[in-house]
């Protein structure tokens, strides 16, 4: 009788699987555990970051590495599909197209299981509210825009997070990696670092994300992720506001600056440097004797001024050529970081910098 009962159970399970199109029931999966091993998590980190960056060439290599690491096609498909909610449909669709091309090229693709079907009467809004509350650590209501609040609860955390092919911990890891690839979303990145911890990602697993990004050559993205983790942990870490490296505190010239600046030498032969100014930071009036300086703003907003002339606003793409012997200053706006590249050309014998008085606070304050 026991054998007959077992056979009946096996037959029933097979029948249900067939009715679901071959889907496996994973409802017993612990949604607070990361299902990726160390190599798979690193591969997924690079895949998600490339999706956000929109770099299809690098994404192709990352997807190949994902397959080599043992990720299934459906796991990657699920991750790239989810990311439309964070990076937009265009990037998500482009990335899915790249995954499809890689799958067509390879002959060893493992599709893997799909998500379990949702139960009858599933309440996406109710379930999504519970998931969002756990992720945030407290109830969250976006009263400023009720429609957005509904989309977050019912669709993102209700419909998408209910798909059990990836656990909630898996999904938060993917989200953190993608947001690390975007500039200007630090509040959201920090929120999802906290969410990853709330959803079961361990400190060690979280710390491995920037290491994986750095190993893939994503220095700025890794630094951005490390800064978000540091902020959540209650420590401070300055991160470059762009893909250009932050470098080190500009201590050698600190006496000639108001505020904190950072210096990254990009090329020792040409002397090309990236200088980062925190908000309100500017250098003193100064003169470059017997050399022309070229400044190219690459991030943020700031100011350049020559003695006796009106200030010029610095925005990404602004190029300033400072004639030799010209008294001038440059720095960030009051409410913005600013980065510019700087190098000297047309150097003549006797080249030197002459540092002069600080920029008047009242004059700067009017900008």
Q: Tokens 């693709």 sit at which residue?
A: 109
Please say whether the beta carbons of 133 and 58 come within 8 A: no
Which of 136, 149, 220, 165 shows the shortest CA–CA distance to 36?
165
> How do the residues of the chain divide into helix, strand and coil, expressed in percent and rounded to 5?
45, 15, 35
Identify the sign of the CA torsion 127, 132, 135, 137.
negative
**Which class for 206: exposed (0-12), middle (13-18), buried (19 or more C-beta within 10 A)?**
buried
What pLDDT is recorded for position 243? Answer: 82
Instruction: Centre a 10 Å sphere on the Cβ of residue 255 and count the other Cβ atoms it contains.
Output: 8
pLDDT tens digits, one per residue of 155-193: 999 999 999 999 999 999 999 999 999 988 989 999 999
What's the mean per-residue pLDDT of the chain?
91
Q: Which fold has domain 248-365?
A: Jelly Rolls (2.60.120)
CATH 1.20.1290.10 residue ranges of the chain are 15-118+162-239
CATH 2.60.120.10 residue ranges of the chain are 248-365
Q: How confident is the model at residue 131 (pLDDT cuts 50, 70, 90)?
A: very high
Least confident of 5-9, 50-54, 207-211: 5-9
* 282-300 mean pLDDT: 97
- 309-343 residues labelled b (16+ CB within 10 A) or e (exposed): eebeebeeebebebebebebbbbbbeebbbbbbbb
What pLDDT is recorded for position 13? Answer: 37
d(CA 130, CA 197): 16
Q: Which fold has domain 15-118+162-239?
A: AhpD-like (1.20.1290)
pLDDT tops 70 at residue 7: no
């Amino acid at each position: 009788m026991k054998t007959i009962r077992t056979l009946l159970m096996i037959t029933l399970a097979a029948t249900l699987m067939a009715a679901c199109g071959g889907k496996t029931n994973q409802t017993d999966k612990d949604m607070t555990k990361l299902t990726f091993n160390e190599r798979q998590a690193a591969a997924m980190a690079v895949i998600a970051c490339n999706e956000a960056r929109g770099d299809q060439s690098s994404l192709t290599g990352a997807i190949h590495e994902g397959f080599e690491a043992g990720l299934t096609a459906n796991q990657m498909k699920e991750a790239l599909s989810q990311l439309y909610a964070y990076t937009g449909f265009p990037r998500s669709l482009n990335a899915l197209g790249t995954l499809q091309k890689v799958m067509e090229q390879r002959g060893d693709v493992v599709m893997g299981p799909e998500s379990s079907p949702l139960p009858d009467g599933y309440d996406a809004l109710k379930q999504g509210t519970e998931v969002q509350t756990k992720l945030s650590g407290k109830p969250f209501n976006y009263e400023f825009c009720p429609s957005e609040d509904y989309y977050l609860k019912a669709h993102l955390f209700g419909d998408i997070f209910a798909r059990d092919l990836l656990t909630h911990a898996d999904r938060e890891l993917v989200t953190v990696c993608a947001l690390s690839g975007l500039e200007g979303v630090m509040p959201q990145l920090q929120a999802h670092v906290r969410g990853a911890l709330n959803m079961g990602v361990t400190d060690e697993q979280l710390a491995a994300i920037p290491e994986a990004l750095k190993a893939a050559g994503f220095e700025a993205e890794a630094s951005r992720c490390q800064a978000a983790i540091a902020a959540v942990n209650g420590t401070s870490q300055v991160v470059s506001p762009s893909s250009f490296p932050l470098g080190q505190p500009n201590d050698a010239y600190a006496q000639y600056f108001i505020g904190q600046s950072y210096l990254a030498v990009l090329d020792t032969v040409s002397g090309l440097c990236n200088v980062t100014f925190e908000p309100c930071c500017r250098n003193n009036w100064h003169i470059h004797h017997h050399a022309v300086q070229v400044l190219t703003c690459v991030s943020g907003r700031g100011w350049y001024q020559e003695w006796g002339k009106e200030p010029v606003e610095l925005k990404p793409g602004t190029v300033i050529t400072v004639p030799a012997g010209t008294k001038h200053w440059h720095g960030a706006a009051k409410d913005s970081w600013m980065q510019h590249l700087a190098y000297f050309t047309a150097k003549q014998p006797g080249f030197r910098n002459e540092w002069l008085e600080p920029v008047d606070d009242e004059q700067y304050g009017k900008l």
